[in-house]
Structure 1
């Protein structure tokens, strides 16, 4: 229905509002209070209605997106209360189906009778938004080329006087409305060369000819030229005669610039693609057909661009992985992109190339394109493989002190890790060189010795202490060509093994393929392997020297006379590990007088030579004082004072020392924190001799006391260290109770076999693995 509204509070001419806004290409609404009372045709289309009645009567906030209702409400209230135009602002509106539309909205108050209406002009910027996004994607982070341009609305009389000038026009032309009203539009804004076209367009609009979006330049206040696309609508006076023309203008200057920039952007994109470090492939998201690629992509798969274009993207990968990778492509398409862990590309030669893929889904002119960035991670993957191999080698080296076992692991693992066809480790033995370890070479080589004077390669590395990489062994004079040819070796890498500034050996890696050589990462790997092996050799030498000393000390600690008059006894010692056979456990039996026998068993905290030396100190001290003093407690007190002075604050000793009087059939003892000895009474009863004194080595003024127990002919004394009771089986301890039951079960076993019987039971329980050194000393009277 048509209804007349006055545009100004003091209008110059009557205007048929209905006819004007119906011709506008931009949606226009009129609201009273908060209700929509009018909607033009463009509004019906924008909001997805079929007729104006579906919009008229709605509360305006029903069509405003929730995120913008507060903002829009303030603008409407301000326009109503203050009568000021709410300038173009970006908002979101809701279509009748609930979907949102990006728009720019201007609200202007209009008085109607005693009330105030609001004219709401809406500019759909969805296309502009999509255009911006499309350009941004195509340029990959290049600056935005198109900014949101609001519609310009100008009312021009039939003699080209400006009657209305909206805020968007103010912004475009740089002039306020008050400064242009009643001024000549042509003189102010239209270049002379474009005036005839503008006059023609306005005349046609006044004559009622439909506007078709005529484009012409306009000049702003600062002299700049903007290109505008115009849509016109005539305004009739009260008599129905054309009186003025509404010009609805959209600034397309930026679109023109954007078109030019897009072309330049595409050229830059091509340049960027070809200069990229990574391979880039573009594929149609629906079909998977490749439509473009860069030079790095050609190198990655070994095919020219003309062969790549038209291929299916699955052809970039090994055939056996086609279905798996097809699923990944579909996931990327559905998700709009993504990244992957390691995948494989396939070179035209058949070689598989490890890659990482980053993909983005872009819209180019309505066509969905997947852009895949393939990064060749061959070097990184190889570096990680070498690093992992080196870690395994180092772990193997540190897991054992068995030099032979270390070298066997090193030669195999390092050769496989570096990708060598064969390898050898040659050691210097005085004035000779001998190949000690080989990989994929005849074992007979390890039996040969080569004099130093005849070993040209070995002499060279001994003198330079530098690695040697030879790519063509058949032409290089520094190597034995006969040897190389006889085993088909084309290239080699030899690295000296240096210990204390002396070359003690050489590790060599060989390639039998003519085209093969060693990469920088592989040479670095060989250097690090050689350093680890050199350290292992040095440690092995040191260990052998230390072990010799320790074995001597340990033998002294465990030396017991083969026979002592009046006694039956057995003893046994086992270390927790075979390679570390020395520890702090010790025991002794010795005659003090013809009827008195000293009995010692103890355990020093810690391991190695230091613990062994402390054990020797304590044992010899107790033994020495035993010939001067008849009280074990007094002897222990003296030994404690000496131990405190001679050891570090963290060392302590558990010790049981007793004096067996064979005539009185009794034992006087002092137990300094040691596991309680067990007495088997006449094969029928078990007793424990509890600890009665503190451990040795903590403080020098601690009290030590003597205890006494009978020891008859049919009794048996079992002394042990905590390694016996702390033997484990799946978290379960052997324990005191199990040991006590075992002793009772073994009551008919002769004393001379008792230590081995207990040990065998303990080893069976722990499945052959000890967590601590263990010592046993079993005594009975004859």
Structure 2
């Protein structure tokens, strides 16, 4: 007989064990939440769900959510045809209900309100997020106790917080994060949103002022711009928020007296210009410092903000602050990585008779900048060396390893005066004991003009995508010969060379795999698209050829792209033609 722990382990394996990031995301929701796959099986659950349901996550994961939980008011089994949640799940669209019932292991029934919505995760197939809580009885209200205006229900509040987390943590672009934040709260909570951010040297910038105009969001550029410095001891609401002291309510009455600072003057202008009659202001806090403040204002929207609204505004601001902090850190890392990469990539030599153009596109993700490189330099015998390569890894370590590999290749190629294959064999022998590079791919070629004026290319390929030659008539052919193992395998085998004469006016294209690899497509598809577009652009001047090729091929952005294009003269008998680079 199978014991419960073994059965739970089997179900977890079947459903796919939840990763820590997914569990953390669910725990941040603040209500019971679990995730089901396209079969309705639970694949992750948060601690609030465990507490409400009286079951550990191990007892939930892998189980069919409907069969395990969904019941009628008296605990009776609920047919799928009568289960609103199951029907919404099968239809694949968001839905919610104020009252339903979940089974607990002790035989009791838990009354719940729930919301379901499609949820994107890094797993195969569609998934659905279920958020639920046990509602408390609504307090009675008399004729003299009107219900507060514009208050979200508990379920709507939880859904808004979950959406805030999902939306803001899925981008590392500060401007995009601010746009998403505004769209989440306007006009749902307010008809004005104002975001003040603290930049370097404690300078404040009113980055965003947005107004709801019908269903559209209108940005008020006239109210944006630099702000006065943050006063150290001002009791005014925005000043306190920018110091990270507290969230607070505010209105035009707060700024009717004599202003105690330049920020107070700007706030008075904001209230007078916008007509805001009630505002809630909360600090935007990062992990190490206060990043700014979020102000939500109501002008045409009825009802004033109350103290009961502040916890929701604070929670939104807290999540936004963490997301903005991560985005800022990402952008700083990316700037460092790109600066390092740009300094490591070399300038192209002037080679009479040849045109050269290079391009480098860093991936959008800062952590993926680093391993791709190109090089061209003159050899001691007058030939020109061409190289393109990719060091394993996508970070600053890969960039440092790339610099080591490139410099060592230059030294070997200059001093040994051997064929490309022999130089790469020697490089492969020393790469592991001398450099920090574990594995790398590389194409090393030498190009030289023969006595008859034709340009001869000799190359060896160490596990890299094949070079492409495009004639001026639009015939494109991959150079698939001269192929050997990538660098760093530890396998010692002779490497082959290959030689070809480049036709007059032809273009040689060396590139890294970021140009041809796309999710959902095979490598052959990428090579085919590259050849097709390169052939169509053969008549373009070389700089235009490279720019249009990148635009048409549209690299996926999941990896860096390095590209080196070389074009021979249109007439082989023109030895005095001047080469140039761009």
Class of the TM-score when normalised by the shorter of the 2 chains: 0.5 to 0.7
2:423 paired with 1:635: yes
The answer for the alignment partner of 2:120 in structure 1 is none
The answer for the alignment partner of 1:678 in structure 2 is 468
- What secondary structure does 1:590 align onto? strand
1:623-681 per-position Cα deviation (integer Å, ceiling 9, x unaligned): 222221223334324443554357778x5311111222334754443211011223457
The answer for the alignment partner of 1:453 in structure 2 is 231
- What secondary structure does 2:407 align onto? helix
Distance between the aligned counterparts of 2:464 and 2:246, measured in 1? 56
RMSD of aligned alpha carbons: 4.6
The answer for the alignment partner of 1:185 in structure 2 is none
Q: Which residue of 146, 161, 168 maps to 1:390?
A: 161
The answer for the alignment partner of 1:626 in structure 2 is 413
2:487 paired with 1:696: yes
The answer for the alignment partner of 2:190 in structure 1 is 420
Distance between the aligned counterparts of 1:340 and 1:694, measured in 2? 59
Change (3 A) 1:525 1:703: farther
- What secondary structure does 2:384 align onto? strand
- What secondary structure does 1:622 align onto? helix
Of Structure 1 and Structure 2, the greater strand share is in: 1
- What secondary structure does 1:524 align onto? helix
Do the aligned residues in 1 keep the contact of 2:376 with 2:385 (CA within 8 Å)? yes
Distance between the aligned counterparts of 1:499 and 1:613, measured in 2? 31
Q: Measure how far apart 1:445 and its partner are.
A: 2.5
Change (3 A) 1:771 1:682: same
Do the aligned residues in 2 keep the contact of 1:595 with 1:662 (CA within 8 Å)? no
Do the aligned residues in 1 keep the contact of 2:517 with 2:556 (CA within 8 Å)? no
Distance between the aligned counterparts of 1:377 and 1:709, measured in 2? 83
Do the aligned residues in 1 keep the contact of 2:195 with 2:292 (CA within 8 Å)? yes
Map 1:188-267 → 2, pairs under 5 A: none
Distance between the aligned counterparts of 1:433 and 1:459, measured in 2? 11
Q: Measure how far apart 1:556 and its partner are.
A: 3.7
Q: Which residue of 446, 456, 471 maps to 1:659?
A: 446
Change (3 A) 1:457 1:470: closer
**Alignment: residue pair count:** 417
Distance between the aligned counterparts of 2:476 and 2:469, measured in 1? 8
Distance between the aligned counterparts of 2:336 and 2:326, measured in 1? 15
Q: Measure how far apart 1:595 and its partner are.
A: 1.8
The answer for the alignment partner of 2:351 in structure 1 is 564
Do the aligned residues in 2 keep the contact of 1:469 with 1:493 (CA within 8 Å)? yes
Q: Measure how far apart 1:431 and its partner are.
A: 5.6
The answer for the alignment partner of 1:100 in structure 2 is none
Q: Measure how far apart 1:505 and its partner are.
A: 1.0
Distance between the aligned counterparts of 2:540 and 2:254, measured in 1? 76
Which residues of structure 1 form unaligned runs of 5+? 1-331, 343-353, 359-373
2:322 paired with 1:552: no
Distance between the aligned counterparts of 1:746 and 1:448, measured in 2? 47
Change (3 A) 1:770 1:776: same
1:540-564 per-position Cα deviation (integer Å, ceiling 9, x unaligned): 3323332222222332454432632
Distance between the aligned counterparts of 1:694 and 1:407, measured in 2? 47
Do the aligned residues in 2 keep the contact of 1:670 with 1:704 (CA within 8 Å)? no
Relative to the length of structure 2, the TM-score reads 0.59
Distance between the aligned counterparts of 2:163 and 2:520, measured in 1? 29
- What secondary structure does 1:607 align onto? coil
Do the aligned residues in 2 keep the contact of 1:466 with 1:495 (CA within 8 Å)? no
Q: Which residue of 179, 193, 208 maps to 1:408?
A: 179
- What secondary structure does 1:517 align onto? coil
Map 1:751-770 → 2, pairs under 5 A: 753-756=544-547, 758-763=549-554
Map 1:6-85 → 2, pairs under 5 A: none
Relative to the length of structure 1, the TM-score reads 0.45
Distance between the aligned counterparts of 1:750 and 1:681, measured in 2? 13
Change (3 A) 1:758 1:508: closer
Q: Which fold has the larger relative contact order, with Cα–Cα distance below 8 Å and residues 6 or more apart in sequence? A: 2
Distance between the aligned counterparts of 1:536 and 1:685, measured in 2? 47
